[in-house]
A and B are shown apart, each in its own frame.
Chain A
Amino acid sequence: MSRAVPGAPWGHSVARAEPFVRRFIHPFLWAVVLLPIVGIGVQGLTGGLGANPIRSLEHATGEWALRFLAACLAVTPLLKLTGWGWLVAERRFLGLAAFYWAFGHLSVYIGLDMFFDVSDIVEDVLKHLYITAGMLAFLLMLPLALTSTKGWIRRLGGRKWNALHRLVYVAAVAACVHFFWGVKKDLEEPILYASVFALLFALRLVWWQRKRAAIRSEPRTVAR
């Protein structure tokens, strides 16, 4: 998808990135990913999580997972619009950030909300569709996190790796469905998040269609 940009769309690492990315952009993103932990910690110590802190933790971790997932999916469109090649090195970082926040979200659910009650958890996942959708979103992100290393990119090869990592779109949809079905009545926030993802998907669709049109109009002398 990002083939219009010079260089391969995968395999970029921060280590090989330009110095300003290494020195400023990357540390800044680290801070953005970690600061919510400090914020939540301070809230936890000062009673800022309210009367139902477990529920507050669930909401906060889930929302941060969604935010970083959206940020990760915003990298490619932003790259195309701006041509900032260094962005691609941060895509994996943001994807992993989304995964770790989703892992935190799941951990709060399993460890604090359900208190490791396996039968309750299994019943909840099978019976209640919004939990099913959330679990699906996490399970779809799991292989992506596991194959995010350079070694796995080499082992799978760019094409296969890229195909596998398209699961992120399904995960994003599942996460949005999880949010929509989880709220009681006020859909304002789920709609807001879903709109951001819809925009990011729409941009891809437009570019994908343009690319197809361009390929069709090319003379068929190109070797396959």
Chain B
Amino acid sequence: MLIRRPDDIPSSEITPESVYLNRRAFMGTAGALALGAALTPDALHALSATGTGVQQLKVTDEEDATSYNNFYEFGTGKEEPREQAAGFRTKPWTVAVEGLVKTPTTFAIDDLLKGLPVQERTYRHRCVEAWSMVIPWQGVQLKDIVNRCEPLPSARFLEMTTLLDPSRMPGQRRREVLPWPYKEALRLDEAMHPLAMLATGMYGKPLPPQNGAPLRLIVPWKYGFKGVKSIVKLRFTDKQPNTTWNDVRASEYGFYANVNPTVDHPRWTQAKERPIGAFLKIPTLMFNGYGDQVASMYAGMDLRKYY
């Protein structure tokens, strides 16, 4: 299953230096993107932030991004999470670090994030349901968190788990919907990739509960369902962990879930997407437009098989 075996590389050294984007450059492109959006408020043309050519882009209305959510813990309707998650308590919040780490620890969220450089990034967000948004996130690089957890060299995957608490997450009372708690995972090299982040905010404000407060995963080259929300556990493993949608319906939702316009979902095409707020669909880009940065991680892999 695993294509690259990073055993011989210390886990802290996995990301090649050349892939690093410095924060200032990123802020610049994010700013340019926002400016482009401001100049063409209803037409959708703006240069993509990540250099894969012209892509129709416009920052999604905050109202849309915070009212149209897939967060089944708060209901399966798109508008339900905002209603059901209102008043969701995110303090106190702890994140357990388990598995192949030097010292299993439970962090208070503030201690987990303390001192890490805050990232401000505007990413495309492509849902597996063929709609998309462009969202300005705030948060930290996932690799900084991974390093803080001190994984052992034998760790090859990172599993992330959503809070399980049906009293606070009413959607979890419906056991037939999904096997709770929701779990997602990345290969460790994916987790160490500089584009991967844990978001704590969006649109310059703390993350609303319907968007996964207080801590959610952002991997912009993958379908949105990989972005596990309200994370309470990070577990490092040497085997590929089970992940929720893949467990439930493997034919439709792969472990990798890289955005790929050439591999259709069995029930709909992935070649196009409807940007929320736009009337016309646009073509979906390979790796959601982040191919220059991430494609090398999947070199030699059959992406039809590992979808």
Contacts and interface: CB of A to CB of B under 8 A. Distances in A.
Given A52-B131, A185-B177, A185-B248, A128 B268 contact: yes
Question: What secondary structure prevails in chain A residues at the interface with B?
Answer: helix
Contacts of B68: 50-52
A166 interface: no
B79 A130 contact: no
A130 B131 CA distance: 19
A52 B78 contact: yes
Contact of B269 (A50, A115, A123, A182): A123
A186 B76 contact: yes
A129 interface: yes
Given A130-B267, A185-B178, A186-B177, A52 B274 contact: yes
Contacts of B72: 185-186
B79 A115 contact: no
B268 A51 contact: no
Contacts of B269: 120, 123-124, 127-128
A182 B129 CA distance: 11
Contacts of A51: 61, 63-65, 67-68, 78, 276-277
B195 to A, nearest CB: 25
Contacts of A127: 264, 269
A130 B266 CA distance: 10
A181 interface: yes
Interface residues of B, number: 28
A50 B65 CA distance: 11
B274 A50 contact: no
Contacts of A182: 267
B281 interface: yes
A75 B129 CA distance: 38
A50 B79 contact: yes
Interface string A42-76: 00000000111011000000000000000000000
Interface in A7-42: none
Question: What secondary structure prevails in chain B residues at the interface with A?
Answer: loop
Given A50-B67, A51-B67, A181 B267 contact: yes
Interface string B233-276: 00000000000000011000000000000001011110010101
A212 interface: no
B3 interface: no
A224 interface: no
Contacts, number: 51
A185 B267 contact: no
B67 A185 contact: no
A129 B63 CA distance: 34
A50 B266 CA distance: 27
Contacts of A185: 72, 76, 177-178, 248-249
Contacts of A184: 76, 129
Interface of B: 61, 63-65, 67-68, 72, 76, 78-79, 129, 131, 177-178, 248-249, 264, 266-269, 272, 274, 276-277, 279-281
**Top 7 A-B pairs ranked by shortest CB distance?**
A51-B68, A51-B64, A186-B76, A51-B276, A128-B267, A130-B267, A186-B177
Interface of A: 50-52, 54-55, 112, 115, 120, 123-124, 127-130, 181-182, 184-186, 188
Given A50-B78, A120-B272, A128-B267, 7 more contacts: A51-B276, A120-B269, A124-B269, A130-B267, A185-B76, A186-B72, A186-B76
22 contacts: A50-B68, A50-B79, A51-B63, A51-B78, A51-B276, A51-B277, A52-B131, A55-B131, A124-B269, A127-B269, A128-B266, A128-B269, A129-B267, A181-B267, A184-B129, A185-B72, A185-B76, A185-B248, A185-B249, A186-B72, A186-B76, A188-B76
